[in-house]
């Protein structure tokens, strides 16, 4: 089994984890990518959204589980074939939610290139942007270092 371990800086990552935990509470009952299912039977629509939320919440828990007591002792997170795909999906959900809720003032191009004047941002937006970049980096690490067969491609 292929496994990637990454040592992270606790002083840098800890404040970002606070944002991720806040987002997980916000996403508990809300899809990161809302579905336009208006022409669907209400019962079926409710069941469909319920299943999507259940899957999304499982993915978010997978990402949060990386940051347990061991992480705060050693500063290491590990990605493998069991958690890679759910973590990539969780990062996507968190990034979509950040973009729609906390980073609306920034263009998609600026978000993707990182070409942003950090000093010109208010503190909450700066933290949200740093979290956005952190989650993108986690996704890139998984995609670059784990077999494509592990992440379902």
Is the model's pLDDT at 1 over the cut of 70? no
Is the model's pLDDT at 21 over the cut of 90? yes
Strand partners, 80: 3
The per-residue pLDDT for range 60-108, each reduced to its tens digit, is: 999 999 998 889 999 999 999 899 999 999 999 999 999 999 999 999 9
Confidence of residue 44 (pLDDT cuts 50, 70, 90): confident
Look-up: residue for tokens 């993108």? 136
Write down the pLDDT at residue 43.
79
Query: What's the gap between Cα 38 and its chain centre?
Result: 27
Residue boundaries of the structural domains of the chain: 3-145
Q: How far apart are CA 89 and CA 76, in angstroms?
A: 20
Q: What's the rounded mean pLDDT across residues 43-71?
A: 91
Write down the pLDDT at residue 12.
93
Confidence of residue 46 (pLDDT cuts 50, 70, 90): confident
Cβ count near 2 (within 10 Å): 12
Whether the Cβ atoms of residue 56 and residue 34 lie closer than 8 Å to each other: no
Q: What is the dihedral of CA 68, 23, 95, 107, to 10 degrees?
A: -140
Whether the Cβ atoms of residue 29 and residue 53 lie closer than 8 Å to each other: yes
Write down the pLDDT at residue 41.
74
% of residues, the chain, pLDDT over 70: 92
**Residue 80: helix, strand or coil by DSSP?**
strand
**Residue 39: helix, strand or coil by DSSP?**
coil
Q: How far apart are CA 36 and CA 49, in angstroms?
A: 10
Whether the Cβ atoms of residue 124 and residue 104 lie closer than 8 Å to each other: no
């Amino acid at each position: 089994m292929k496994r990637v371990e990454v040592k992270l800086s606790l002083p840098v990552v800890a404040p970002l984890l606070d944002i991720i935990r806040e987002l997980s509470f916000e996403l508990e009952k809300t899809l990161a990518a809302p579905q336009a299912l208006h022409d669907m039977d209400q019962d079926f629509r409710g069941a469909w959204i319920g299943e999507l939320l259940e899957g999304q919440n499982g993915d978010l828990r997978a990402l949060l589980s990386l940051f347990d007591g061991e992480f705060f002792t050693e500063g290491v997170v590990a990605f493998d074939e069991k958690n890679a795909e759910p973590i990539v999906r969780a990062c996507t959900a968190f990034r979509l939610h950040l973009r729609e809720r906390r980073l609306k003032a920034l263009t998609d191009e600026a978000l993707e290139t990182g070409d942003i004047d950090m000093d010109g941002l208010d503190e909450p937006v700066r933290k949200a942007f740093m979290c956005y970049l952190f989650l993108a980096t986690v996704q890139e690490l998984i995609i670059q270092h784990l077999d494509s067969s592990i992440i379902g491609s």
